[in-house]
Amino acid sequence: MRLLLAFGLFVSAAVAQAQPMPVVASFSILGDVVAQVGGERVAVQVLVGPGSDAHVLQPTPAQARQVAQARVVVAHGLGFEGWMPRLLRAAGFKGRELRVAEGLKPLKAAPGPDRHGHAHDVDPHSWQDVASVLHWVPRIAATLCEADAAGCDSYRTRAEAYTTRLRALDAEIRTQWAPLPPAERKLITSHEAFGWYAAAYGVRFLSPQGLSTEAEASARGVAQLVRQIRAEGIRALFVETIADPRLIEQIGRETGLKPAGRLYSDSLSPPDGPAASYEALMRHNTRLMVDALRVR
Domain that holds residue 135: 16-171
**Backbone torsions φ then ψ of 51, nearest 5 degrees:** 85, 0
Span 217-234, pLDDT tens digits = 556 666 776 777 776 667
> What total number of domains does the chain contain?
2
pLDDT at 130: 98
Dihedral angle of Cα 201, 207, 211, 213, to the nearest 10 degrees? -130
Do both 262 and 209 map to the same domain? yes
Do both 159 and 44 map to the same domain? yes
Q: For the chain, which ranges sit under pLDDT 70? A: 1-17, 110-120, 190-191, 207-222, 225, 231-233, 239-249, 256, 295-296
The domain that contains 259 carries what CATH number? 3.40.50.1980
Do both 277 and 204 map to the same domain? yes
Alpha-carbon distance of 157 to 92, in angstroms, equals: 32
Alpha-carbon distance of 179 to 102, in angstroms, equals: 34
Do both 189 and 155 map to the same domain? no
10 located within any domain: no
pLDDT at 212: 39
Span 146-185, pLDDT tens digits = 999 999 999 999 999 999 999 999 999 999 999 999 988 9
213 located within any domain: yes
* Under 8 Å between Cβ of 267 and 242: yes
Q: What distance lies between CA 260 and its chain's CA centroid?
A: 22
pLDDT at 115: 36
The set of residues, in sequence order, having a beta carbon less than 8 Å from that of 243 and lying 6+ positions away, is: 190, 191, 209, 213, 265
